[in-house]
């Protein structure tokens, strides 16, 4: 089984007041932090992002934009583009993570794969649907759901295994506002020690 990876970085970052991908955390842009943790877990990696692609040039990753008609349609638009890319690359599965989760577990993909795709992560009693493992073969079903107007992620993960992760801080703590920066900085420093 070949597993491709996709960092979901297509959000508008309204609460941050900036493009979350480029918020500097522990001396690096958030997208670089997440890529460093996620890339070793997959065979190939791409970004789902809208806007000017060249801003990600330093990462050397393919940048997949939502179709013009799907801009602002949420993370499933990005997941579907990622599944198309993964299929073209000969992958069987696509692992996804959100760009605003810099503490993403380094064993995320292996644990999701052990549960069997589709699967998604949970922690502290909450599902994290962007931290998931998707079957490329399910793309037609996802396209049909999307065409019917479904934008919530959970219906696309119907029947998926839920894989619980634990830890302090929460491994899926995310950056939603500038107020979240100090705690995430401290957590990253603590993991580096």
Percent of the chain, pLDDT > 70? 92
Please report the pLDDT score of residue 68 as a whole number.
Answer: 61
The residue that leads in pLDDT, 126 or 20, is 126
CA 90/CA 119 separation, integer angstroms: 20
Question: Which residue blocks in 27-179 are alpha helix, DSSP H?
Answer: 30-38, 75-88, 108-115, 139-147
**Is residue 18 over pLDDT 80?**
no
**Three-class DSSP category at 100:** coil
CATH of the domain at 59: 3.90.550.10
Find tokens 């943790």 and name the residue.
37
Domains in the chain, number? 1
Question: Model confidence at 192, in pLDDT bands (50, 70, 90)?
Answer: low
Read off the pLDDT of residues 83-109 as tens digits, 9 standing for 90 and up. Answer: 999 999 999 999 999 999 999 999 999
**123 is in which domain, residue-wise?**
3-192
Question: Model confidence at 72, in pLDDT bands (50, 70, 90)?
Answer: low
Question: Model confidence at 50, in pLDDT bands (50, 70, 90)?
Answer: confident
User: How large is the average pLDDT for residues 55-76?
Assistant: 82
**Is residue 15 over pLDDT 90?**
no
CB atoms within 10 A of CB 144: 10
The Cα-based distances of 40 to 44, 45, 56, 137 in angstroms read: 9, 9, 19, 24
């Amino acid at each position: 089984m070949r597993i491709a990876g996709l960092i979901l970085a297509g959000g508008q970052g309204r609460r941050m007041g900036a493009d979350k991908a480029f918020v500097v955390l522990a001396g690096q842009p958030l997208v670089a932090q997440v890529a460093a943790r996620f890339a070793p877990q997959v065979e190939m990696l791409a970004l789902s992002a809208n806007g000017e692609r060249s801003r990600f040039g330093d990462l050397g990753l393919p940048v997949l934009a939502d179709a013009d008609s799907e801009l602002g349609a949420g993370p499933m638009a990005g997941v579907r583009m990622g599944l198309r890319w993964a299929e073209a690359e000969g992958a069987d599965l696509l692992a996804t993570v959100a760009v605003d989760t810099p503490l993403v577990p380094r064993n995320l993909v292996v644990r999701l794969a052990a549960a069997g795709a589709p699967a998604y992560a949970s922690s502290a009693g909450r599902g994290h649907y962007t931290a998931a493992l998707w079957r490329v073969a399910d793309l037609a079903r996802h396209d049909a759901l999307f065409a019917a107007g479904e934008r919530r992620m959970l219906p696309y993960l119907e029947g998926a295994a839920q894989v619980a992760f634990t830890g302090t801080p929460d491994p899926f703590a995310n950056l939603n506002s500038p107020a979240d920066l100090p705690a995430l900085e401290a957590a990253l420093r603590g993991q580096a020690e």
